[in-house]
Structure 1
């Protein structure tokens, strides 16, 4: 049993770093980069919270087209009743968003206090699933961890025939303590029987290999997003210098202080005038960089984001390309449409398994099939 706790903690720690990054980028909390340390010191505080965030468009373009319309099959009406009762018309969108952004999402299906089937969407960072190497695609066991109100950590390990429940003896700073710190959670009986014959945790893996973790829709977009942010930051820095052009003076005799350090002959500022008695002195300013080149580079990164993610350009740059219609729209959305069909097939299979489990809880064993709403056009 202890090895299964260690296994779960290892998975939580490894995948948690990936989830934290993709979640940050979706929210617009990006890793900003400057060309030099001097630029970072000068402009870092000014642009610390800046990001031209295209990540939501990449994920939401797919999520907007993933809406469960209902269920077909002998128990379709019963499945739809459970679906509506558990608010899944809304919460299923949260599951899809979690899977698209982080690569993985989970739901737990279990009886509520009244014995009815309940569906509980989970954050990717709090759950993990272990697959059978002999039968890829079949979940052997799963685990979930969370912090309690008193600062302790709970851990449940789910098996086809039981649920093992653990808790740390005392509160700790670390979100994930070591395996040896977990004790059976005796307040809830420690172990709970699972009479339904399969693991009640269902894994939504986005664009995954067989029996593997999913991939975030942002995996290929993040490096390009970093380049876009860098290009825009460079443009903003150039605008800063253009707004207050750098001046120069020649033919001025420089004075020195008592320590031999040169004393600036003038104080630069928009409210200061440079004057000298030397008739041979010359003044001027440096040419500023043209902003057109920065705009072209910025737009090229938008095109790259569209290319590597299959997102139509009008999602990322609507102000210059306009909105296509007819055949042009179908061509623009061909890769996105293929991606949506793939996600509907993968997520639909997992939803069907979850709803079949929910029906089993309520005494119905019929197979069902997910029906999707036609994507908007």
Structure 2
């Protein structure tokens, strides 16, 4: 019979899974529209046309785009080389961004790290695999919320005998393996049995008595929890759910009025005393007569002779006047959509210009001020994810026989100074006595970059280089304005700046050699 830990883990997995599904649906743009009218909802569903504008993924993508690992190093060259090999062997150049994306989308992501062994039981490498929080969940200690009591992983396998539920409980010193018989749902404690190693994997009753337990000396579950908050994460776009629902409703309703804007609905008032309309049918004045072959999922008009639709004519007794009904103005829908986008940006702490890159984008100090809360959030994610990456590689090195290893994770800066105003500010700081190293670090450059630049360079030379950077930034801005006025072409501007930078690099090389 299943242990209490197994049933507790299954219960927590089942309770958390709907929220993860919702988060994924909003990121993918698969959330159904919400309409007060059931008839309107059915009509739009029958068309099979999708007019959704998915802004909810932007708060996630904006953060993930700036979560770029610059380097992971060890305390010595041997450890650093091993880390680089593990990174390459597990394809982490592709896997790491995906893990960050999953963690920001769902709030949680798990990485399972296990040793690979040869036929003699010697560890030859380490495998790292992402696991979804919909199938894996860490159960934290009630006494110490920072410690993991155990981790549950549950999944379903299809066999020739039917579907089988599988589960593993990963502890500090062992892994317990559980299974159900074919067809059992796994909801009851009696559904679960020891998953015994056997020649026939479809026979859960075969194998040795102790084969359902795998003992180890890892000292911790080999599972690592990436999360946006503690103890469990919160989707970065959680605050975007409400605005996205409103945007879906507004955009689809707007699309429903577009046909009426192109083909307005008309009316004709008739005078019964002077006009004989006894042989006319409501569809006789349609711009688009409907035949059986072209009939679609539109209103049949069975409940009224006045049929609503683009190009329709309402035939009213007694011709006295004709006209058309004006469709709703696009601003009735587009203005509220922009309000919802602004609300989404505010709620999710995402700069508004990231939702509309074609709009007015702030520059210089303005963009840094507007992005300050956003950049702070990115740095918080770097600290959280960085701590988990350190745990991953300290554990991986331990599996390879290197105990008590030290690992350092460095990130590409969340924001850097790249404009004229920023470099002018940096120059003023230097003039007023702020150490040049501190100025460069505040500009967003990494510690190792700054150390490399400052090696063998005195303060006077460094000050000159900062002034050169400020001058180049100023020239780039002015040349950009000239290109916008048509005085020079973009290609000419690029050529001038490339040549100037090349000359500066050449001069720096000559000075370094002399």
Q: How does the TM-score come out when normalised to structure 2?
A: 0.66
Q: Which residue of 1 aligns with 2:440?
A: none
Q: Displaced runs of 4+ in structure 1, greater than 4 A? A: 252-257, 262-266, 271-276
Aligned residues, how many? Answer: 366
Measured in 2, the distance between the counterparts of 1:301 and 1:156 equals 44
Q: Distance in 2 between matches of 1:324 and 1:363?
A: 52
Write the distance in 1 (CA, Å) between the matches of 2:170 and 2:409.
25
1:344 is the counterpart of 2:363: no
SS in 2 for 1:374: coil
Do 1:98 and 1:124's aligned partners in 2 also have CA atoms closer than 8 Å? no
Structure 1 residues 150-189: aligned runs within 5 Å? 150=159, 151-171=163-183, 174=185, 177-187=187-197, 189=211
2:339 alignment partner, one of 290, 293, 300: 300
Aligned residue for 1:205?
227
Shift in CA distance, 48/265, structure 1 to aligned 2, threshold 3 Å: closer
Q: Residue 68 of structure 1 contacts residue 89 of structure 1 at CA under 8 Å; is this kept in 2?
A: no
| Residue 42 of structure 2: aligned partner | 41
1:347 Cα deviation (Å)? 0.8
Is 1:88–2:92 an aligned residue pair? yes
Matches within 5 A, 1:62-211: 62-74=63-75, 75-114=79-118, 115=123, 116-150=125-159, 151-171=163-183, 174=185, 177-187=187-197, 189-206=211-228, 208-209=229-230
1:330 aligns with 2:368: yes
Q: Please report how far the alpha carbon of residue 162 of structure 1 lies from its aligned counterpart in structure 2 after TM superposition.
A: 0.4
Counterpart for residue 287 of structure 1: 326
Q: Displacement of 1:263 after TM fit?
A: 8.3
**CA distance 1:121–1:169, change in 2 (3 Å):** same
Q: Secondary structure at the match of 1:125?
A: coil
Task: Verify the 8 A CA contact 1:70 1:76 in the aligned structure 2.
Answer: no
Q: TM-score, normalised by structure 1?
A: 0.89
Gaps of 5+ in 1: none
Q: What is the CA deviation profile of residues 155-184 of structure 1, one whole-angstrom value per residue up to 9, with x for unaligned ones? A: 000000100011111145x5x543421211
In structure 2, distance between residues paired with 1:255 and 1:128: 76
Is the Cα contact below 8 Å between 1:106 and 1:201 reproduced in 2? yes
Deviations 1:78-98 (A, max 9, x none): 323222221112211111111
1-structure distance, mates of 2:226, 2:154? 18
Counterpart CA distance in 1 for 2:34 and 2:49 is: 10
> Larger relative contact order (C-alpha < 8 A, sep ≥ 6)?
1
Provide Cα deviations, 1:178-237, integer angstroms capped at 9, x if missing partner: 34212111126200012111111111111x23xx21101121111111111111112111
Q: Which moved more, 1:43-52 or 1:149-158?
A: 43-52
| Deviation digits for residues 90-121 of structure 1 (CA, Å, limit 9, x no counterpart) | 21111111110011100111112442222111
- The residue aligned with 1:231 is 250
TM-aligned CA distance change 1:226 to 1:244, over 3 Å: same
Q: Partners in 2 of 1:39 and 1:275 — Cα distance?
A: 21
* Aligned equivalents of 2:271, 2:134: Cα separation in 1: 64
Q: Structure 1 residues 180-189 or 39-48, which shifts more?
A: 39-48
How far off its partner does 1:45 sit?
2.7
SS at match of 1:34: coil
Find the aligned partners of 2:147 and 2:313 in 1 and give their Cα distance: 78
Q: CA deviation at 1:47?
A: 5.9
Once the two structures are TM-superposed, the CA of residue 256 in structure 1 deviates from its matched residue by: 11
CA contact (8 A) 2:68 2:411 kept: yes
How far did 1:314 drift? Answer: 2.0
What secondary structure does 2:47 align onto? coil
Secondary structure of residue in 2 paired with 1:147: strand
Q: Which moved more, 1:18-27 or 1:44-53?
A: 44-53
Task: Look up the match of 1:251.
Answer: 270
User: Separation in 1 of the partners of 2:407 and 2:378?
Assistant: 21
Q: Is the 8 A contact 2:57 2:237 kept in 1?
A: no
8 Å CA contact 1:71–1:77 kept in 2: the answer is: no
